Amino acid sequence: MLRTKLDPTYDDLPEQRYHFPRTYLRQVDAARGDWIVYYERRRPSGDLMKTGGRPAYFATARIVDIIPDPSEPDALIEDLRPFGHAVPIQRHGRL
């Protein structure tokens, strides 16, 4: 799972690249070629265009490569597939 927003304020483009701290390099490298799930920490409803509220999963994508960077590397992303609606991480207080 990678945390981001559909419209991030950070240096991410969820459909193309995911900028991450070097401390996660081993985990991201292990996911190279695999599908990941994007989640957002706060989303009020299933509407993908709203922000804030409860944490939710909102898309899948595939990590195809990693670009080294002296400060923080980027994972190259392909095949972004947004869900039709956000999926709450918790339902009725349970994971």
- Taking residue 30's Cβ as centre, other Cβ atoms within 10 Å add up to 10
Question: Could you write out the DSSP letters of every residue in 21-43?
Answer: -GGGHHHHHHTTTSEEEEEEEEE
- Calpha distance 59→83 (Å, rounded): 5
Torsion over CA: 90, 50, 3, 6 (sign): positive
Instruction: Encode the chain (95 residues) as per-residue pLDDT tens digits.
Output: 677 766 666 667 778 888 888 888 899 999 999 999 988 876 555 555 555 566 788 899 999 999 887 778 888 899 999 988 888 876 655 55
Q: Please give the model's pTM, rounded to 2 decimal places.
A: 0.73
Kindly give, in sequence order, each residue whose CB lies less than 8 Å from that of residue 5, ignoring residues fewer than 6 positions away: 12, 14, 40, 51
Enumerate the domain spans of the chain.
Answer: 2-88
